[in-house]
Structure 1
Amino acid sequence: MPGALGFIGWLIVGGLAGWIASKIKGTDASQGIFLNIVVGIVGALIGGWVLGLVGVNTEGAGLILTFLTAILGAVILITIVQFLTKKK
């Protein structure tokens, strides 16, 4: 997420992206607002990295692409955590 959003923007976009990703993955009941924010912000980094691998430049792409990138990355993050914590 570019610096234009500022700290509060990171929190808002991260929280919303983390919340939507938790709804998609069915983990909303176990996540609070703090975890949603963390998942969304880390998800934005993961999403930007993944999209960069396939040639999509997300830098300066605007709020909507930043938000969608954060959701993508948050879903990936939650999926990885679910896989690693799955009971055998």
Structure 2
Amino acid sequence: MGFLAFLLLGLIAGSIAKLILPGRQNGGWFSTLILGVVGAMLGGWLGSVLFNAPLEEFFSIQTWLVAIGGSLIVLLIYGALVTSRRP
């Protein structure tokens, strides 16, 4: 998968993860892109280690599920860190 396709995958996976999680998450499209790309990388790594399901092709359902799952994990961690810093 190319670099631009990976960025697009991260942006869409991050957006879907934000839609799935309840509540109001702060940040715009750039933070969604960053968290989505980090989540896609985490999901690809976890998928390859645990299930032998790495990120392979852009139009593969396996790639999308792994990327969205990783983005959900990253958004949960990010939300826990941000809310714990607020007074």
Tell me the TM-score normalised to structure 1 length.
0.74
Kindly report the root-mean-square deviation, in angstroms, between the aligned alpha carbons of the 2 structures.
2.3
Q: Is contact 2:9-2:58 (8 Å) kept?
A: no
* More off after superposition, 21-30 vs 38-47: 21-30
Judging by fraction of residues, say which structure has more helix.
Answer: 1
- Counterpart for residue 44 of structure 1: 40
Tell me the TM-score normalised to structure 2 length.
0.74
Distance 2:74 2:55 in 1: 20
- Runs of 4+, deviation exceeding 4 Å: none
1:39-85 CA-partner distances (Å, limit 9, x unpaired): 11111111122223323232535532222211100000111122233
- Counterpart for residue 72 of structure 1: 69
Distance 1:25 1:56 in 2: 26
Q: Is contact 2:43-2:69 (8 Å) kept?
A: yes
Q: Is contact 1:18-1:36 (8 Å) kept?
A: yes
Q: How many residues align?
A: 84
1:5-59 CA-partner distances (Å, limit 9, x unpaired): x232122211110011111123665221111111111111111222233232325
Structure 1 alignment gaps of length 5 or more: none
Distance 2:25 2:53 in 1: 34
Q: Percent identity?
A: 32
